[in-house]
Structure 1
Amino acid sequence: MKLEKPVSGGPCWAELGTSDLEGAKRFYTELFGWRPETDTRQEARGYTVAHLGDAAVAALAPLYEETQPVAWNVAFSVDDADAAAEAVEAAGGTVILGPLEVRDAGRFTVAVDPGGAAFQMWQPGAFAGAGLFNAPGTLGWVELLTRAPERVTDFYTTVFGWSVNASPEYTQWGIDGDDFGGMTTMGDVFPPEVPTHWLPYFAVEDVDGMASVAMDAAGSLLMEPTSVQNGPRIAVLKDPQGAVFGMYAAGPEG
């Protein structure tokens, strides 16, 4: 990810919805060295912010509804939550929650793209998003897995104004050419029951070593460590509660 801080239209936060908050705290603390801080106020319902040093890097939260899947969610920064929600609807997406005020922190929206992938939008107030990107244990890339690549490309470029760097092998998203993520078309290798989704990748120093740590902590490998042609070494994993995430070996530029 070339972005070093939250910018309008770019990814600003990753949030886990989990069926076992305490178990998730243990797993990700062991894996990434996170320091979780849980908001003890009743209205916060256990919302936990993970830190590396003084920087907030991600969140862990309980499931708020019975139908909510155990999954990582990706949030994109917007200047105006109401205008962004209108843009989503106009471009063929669906707003399923919000915009909602989160005290003085900001305004929060959950939406679904025309291909069925859920994502979040965040209008920053006192909280802009992650305080650190690309360092080991922090968000470094986001990837959309979709069955409707042309439709969602039109959607996201319309809603967020993303630049598109496409090759026959892979499509990358960017802000003014600074790439922060990509898109994979879900072919026959993906079972029909696997939904379209956004996948966060966290930077690590050693993909193979961290994959072993994850498995020792009751995680599982969905894609074994693999070296991408002209790219980093990556792996895709599932945590003990079933949430999927990626890891990549951070290079000199993150």
Structure 2
Amino acid sequence: MSNKHGDFIWYELLTSDADDAQDFYGQLLGWDFADSGQADKDYREISMKGNGVGGVMPMTPEMTGNGAQPCWLGYITVEDVDRMAEAISSAGGSVHMQPQDIDGVGRFALVADPQGAPFYVMKPIPPADKPDATSLAFAATEPTIGHCAWNELATSDTAAALNFYHDLFGWEKDGEMDMGPMGTYNFLRHDFMIGAMMDKPDAMPVSAWTYYFRVADIDEAVKTIIAKGGQIRLEPDEIPGGEFQLNAVDPQGAAFALVGARK
């Protein structure tokens, strides 16, 4: 694929109820869902107007037994999954799922940064008929409804996290914003602006990534979240540029965020 080392290429929901999650996000974001065709698991691919955005995977009893909870996880493309897993461990991170292959899809590993925030690294296999196919899951160049618009890390050690992701993925800090008592909001660039890092609030138990998906109408999104059994954690708040953001949890407890206009 033409995505380069360090790009976000996929977003995955681990959930305790895939059917309910599919109904919730389908109504909220207009996503389509299709079975991935993997014989050994229920994995549902998410698309928006034909473009792949991510997947939904029901948690297994083994996952829940090991403490897994519903959450969203991002995939970062890398040139060599095995080498990257070793580098992450050497840099103080951890490998929760050793590198392995998915036939026809690619090689991946579930890892965490030194502060404990989990994510995947992956070397995808491009389709045979589209060797230069590009993931548009993260809308890097223009606002796109139903796609990820922003990747935000809240971490217990921002300085260390900035160094970690810079050294392993080539991300650069590109400016900052003073948020008062909440500290500094550090913008991240990887050719394009991809997101930001900030200090983890004391009330947040662990370091974690939050992924912002774009909606056409932020107020309609609030109504849908509440009607479908989700909860608003942060009411729509205006951000630079005139759009609004909100933070929420879905009916199974997975945290996510939205960004969009107010009409």
Normalised TM-score (structure 1) = 0.89
Q: Is the 8 A contact 2:242 2:261 kept in 1?
A: no
Aligned to 2:236: 225
- Could you tell me whether the CA contact under 8 Å between 1:164 and 1:172 is conserved in 2? yes
Identify the match of residue 187 of structure 1 among 198, 201, 206: 201
Could you tell me how far 1:98 is from its partner in structure 2?
2.0
Alignment of 1:44-193 (within 5 A): 45-64=41-60, 65-66=63-64, 67-126=67-126, 130-132=135-137, 133=139, 134-169=143-178, 170-176=185-191, 178-188=192-202, 190-191=203-204
| Unaligned runs of at least 5 residues, structure 2 | 128-132, 179-184
Q: Partner letter of residue 108 of structure 1?
A: F
Query: Could you say what secondary structure the match of 1:208 adopts?
Result: helix
- Contact between 2:15 and 2:252, CA under 8 Å: does it hold in 1? yes
Which amino acid letter does the alignment assign opposite residue 78 of structure 1?
A: V
Instruction: Give the AA of the match of 2:173.
Output: V
Note the alpha carbon deviations across 1:124-178, whole angstroms, 9 max, x for none: 11367744534111111111111111111111111111111232421111114x2
Percent identity between the aligned chains? Answer: 29
> Match of 2:23?
26
Alpha-carbon shift at residue 54 of structure 1 (Å): 1.6
1:197 and 2:208 aligned: yes
Task: Give the distance between the partners of 2:16 and 2:253, measured in 1 at CA.
Answer: 9
Preserved CA contact (<8 Å) 1:35 1:51: yes
> RMSD over aligned Cα, in angstroms?
2.0
For these two proteins, the number of residue pairs brought into alignment is: 242
Deviations 1:205-251 (A, max 9, x none): 21122121111111110100000245631001110000010111279
Which aligned runs of 4 or more in structure 1 are off by greater than 6 angstroms?
none
Give the Cα separation in 1 of the matches to 2:211 and 2:146. 12
**Are the aligned partners of 1:12 and 1:76 in contact in 2 as well (CA < 8 Å)?**
yes
AA aligned opposite 2:201 = G
- Write out per-residue CA displacement over residues 164-199 of structure 1, whole angstroms, 9 at most, x where no aligned residue: 1232421111114x21011121133x24xx221111
Structure 1 alignment gaps of length 5 or more: none
1:59 is matched by which residue type in structure 2?
A: G
* Worse-superposed segment, 31-40 or 232-241: 31-40
Distance in 1 (alpha carbons) for counterparts of 2:261 and 2:147: 10
In the alignment, is the contact (CA less than 8 A) between 2:245 and 2:257 conserved in 1? yes
Q: 1:185 to 1:248 in 2, by over 3 A?
A: same
SS in 1 for 2:116: coil
The higher-RCO structure (CA 8 Å, 6+ apart) is 1
